[in-house]
Amino acid sequence: MTALSRTATLARDLVRFPSVNWGAGRSDGEAEAAGYVEAVLQRMGLKTRLFESAPGRVSVLTRVEGRTREPALVLHGHTDVVPADAAGWSVDPFAGEVRDGLLWGRGAVDMKDMDAMMLASLEDILGSGRQPARDLVVAFFADEEAGGVLGSHWIVDRHPELFAGAAEAISEVGGYSVDLAGRRAYLLQTGEKALVWAKLTARGPAAHGSRLIRDNAVTTLAEAVARIGRKDWPIRLTDTTRALVDELGRILGIDPKAAGEDAVVLASGTASGFILATLRTTTNPTVLEAGYKHNVIPDTATALIDIRTLPGEEEAVLAELRELVGPDIEIETVHADVGLENPFEGPLVEKVIALLGEHDPGAPVLPYLMSGGTDNKALSKLGITGYGFAPLRLPADLNFPAMFHGVDERVPLASLDFGTEVLTDLLLTY
Ligand SMILES: [Zn+2]
């Protein structure tokens, strides 16, 4: 076997920490992953600070001095991953296996790949006696996979001074390539949908399972869940999605007005996995809970709904849901966070486009709105404009969108090295 590059080694080591975030405040091993990252940063001569928001929920931050007096850039990643059920995987999700030129494992895509690229770029720059152009605030957050309550939000709320002088941020879920009918293009994430995690509760009489009960809580809840899950939210384009759909239409030779926006997006191949949900609101039921015995009708039934609205539409969507489920269902917001939409222009965007043009000539860069959320939401509270830019040149046949929180997460080693080179150039020249 050929030796792994530095980026691949760092990514593999990080995948081997089962830093699983189970949600509801529970996680394993973020502290160990943060400890590993801290040691790597300290070996570069950087002063690190650890923040433990709750036992074991550790984030690590450092600051790197730049050559210029331009506003600082925040470079951030998260060390936690979502759970992985090994039964569905071709490999042990936490073994950090390298097979066929790819690194396999939970976090290989989301987002220990970028964590490793960040570390390797900094090693490259500082190890050769150079300095980044701007001051960098480098953060590895805990708890991103549960909304950042014990990670980015906790730190931004308690230690805003750590981000003093920072205007922009870059992080995950953007900057990777997609194949558009045989043509490679890059998606730069310039915005994120808003999220509302809602809990529905239905109540009724507790009773023997043999009785005639018309207002059974499970039945009431099931009807509401079905209505929400089946709701077909209309397409509504924002500045970002309009620009993206128009550009996709131009590249693919399809007129969005004639064919419809969904048809243009579907023709984009695997990229549609990232894009379809960004043209409208989505309301997905994700968890159901009721009952404890086959012959007992329970007095309550609950469901969790993952709602992702377009930026600014949270209240309107909740009002529509209340209408949809009727007065017998209580709707409670468990967690909510803002949507973001940043311009696809300005010096950082221009620099990103120029760098991708140098490293992969001829591949266009398109803006996109992300259906999920990142720690950029927390940073936006400090007025920091965050983009998703974890650059990866990927093979055309790799279904990258499907691997976020999916099975058999894997990233090509060559893509990691490409990303480190682009990121290094960005930090040196922006
Ligand atoms: Zn992530």
Per-residue pLDDT of 172-200, as tens digits, reads: 999 999 999 899 999 999 999 999 999 99
Backbone phi and psi for residue 392, each to the nearest 5 degrees, phi listed first: -140, 125
Task: Name the token pair of 288.
Answer: 């159901």
Give the DSSP H/E element, type plus range, for residue 22: strand 21-23
Percent of the chain with pLDDT over 70: 100
Task: Name the token pair of 185.
Answer: 């293009």
Contacts of 140 (CB under 8 A, 6+ apart): 33, 34, 37, 59, 60, 61, 76, 77, 78, 79, 115
Contacts of 272 (CB under 8 A, 6+ apart): 265, 266
**CA of residue 145 to ligand 1 center, whole Å:** 7
| Residue for token pair 């048809």 | 263
**Does residue 401 carry a pLDDT above 90?**
no
pLDDT at residue 57, rounded to an integer? 97
**CA of residue 396 to ligand 1 center, whole Å:** 22
DSSP string, 193-244: -EEEEEEEEEE---EETTS--TT-HHHHHHHHHHHHHH--PPP---HHHHHH
Residue 169 gets which letter from DSSP? E
- pLDDT band of residue 355 (cuts 50, 70, 90) is very high
User: How large is the average pLDDT for residues 347-369?
Assistant: 96
**Strands 136-141 and 72-78: what pairing?**
parallel
Q: Which of 348, 333, 338 is nearest to 382 (CA)?
A: 338
Q: Which of 52, 35, 36, 264 is nearest to 154 (CA)?
A: 52
Task: Name the token pair of 135.
Answer: 């001051």
**CA of residue 43 to ligand 1 center, whole Å:** 26
**CA of residue 250 to ligand 1 center, whole Å:** 30
**CA of residue 228 to ligand 1 center, whole Å:** 26
**CA of residue 257 to ligand 1 center, whole Å:** 34
User: How large is the average pLDDT for residues 287-302?
Assistant: 97
User: What totals of helices (H) and strands (E) does the chain contain, helices first?
Assistant: 13, 21
**CA of residue 237 to ligand 1 center, whole Å:** 25
**CA of residue 144 to ligand 1 center, whole Å:** 7
Task: Name the token pair of 275.
Answer: 């894009």
- pLDDT band of residue 33 (cuts 50, 70, 90) is very high
Q: How many residues does the chain have?
A: 430
Contact 118, 75 (CB under 8 A): yes
| Residue for token pair 């980015």 | 152
Give the DSSP H/E element, type plus range, for residue 13: helix 6-15
**CA of residue 109 to ligand 1 center, whole Å:** 8
**CA of residue 349 to ligand 1 center, whole Å:** 21
b/e burial code for range 133-169 (CB count within 10 A of at least 16 → b): bbbbbbbbbbbbbbbbbbbbbbbbeeeeebbeebbbb
pLDDT at residue 1, rounded to an integer? 56
**CA of residue 107 to ligand 1 center, whole Å:** 8
Contact 60, 37 (CB under 8 A): yes
**CA of residue 118 to ligand 1 center, whole Å:** 14
Give the DSSP H/E element, type plus range, for residue 355: helix 347-359
Contact 166, 74 (CB under 8 A): yes
**CA of residue 93 to ligand 1 center, whole Å:** 16
Contact 10, 37 (CB under 8 A): no
Order the strands of the 329-337 sheet from edge to edge. 282-290, 300-309, 194-203, 329-337
**CA of residue 81 to ligand 1 center, whole Å:** 7
**CA of residue 47 to ligand 1 center, whole Å:** 25
Give the DSSP H/E element, type plus range, for residue 367: strand 365-370
**CA of residue 375 to ligand 1 center, whole Å:** 9
**CA of residue 294 to ligand 1 center, whole Å:** 39
**Strands 329-337 and 194-203: what pairing?**
antiparallel
Classify 359 as helix, strand or coil.
Answer: helix
**CA of residue 207 to ligand 1 center, whole Å:** 44
Q: What is the pLDDT of residues 3-30, one digit of tens each?
A: 899 999 999 999 999 999 999 889 987 9
Classify 139 as helix, strand or coil.
Answer: strand
- Specify the higher pLDDT residue, 24 or 101: 101
- Specify the higher pLDDT residue, 2 or 9: 9
Contact 264, 252 (CB under 8 A): yes
**CA of residue 336 to ligand 1 center, whole Å:** 17
**CA of residue 16 to ligand 1 center, whole Å:** 17
**CA of residue 258 to ligand 1 center, whole Å:** 36
- pLDDT band of residue 75 (cuts 50, 70, 90) is very high
**CA of residue 110 to ligand 1 center, whole Å:** 5
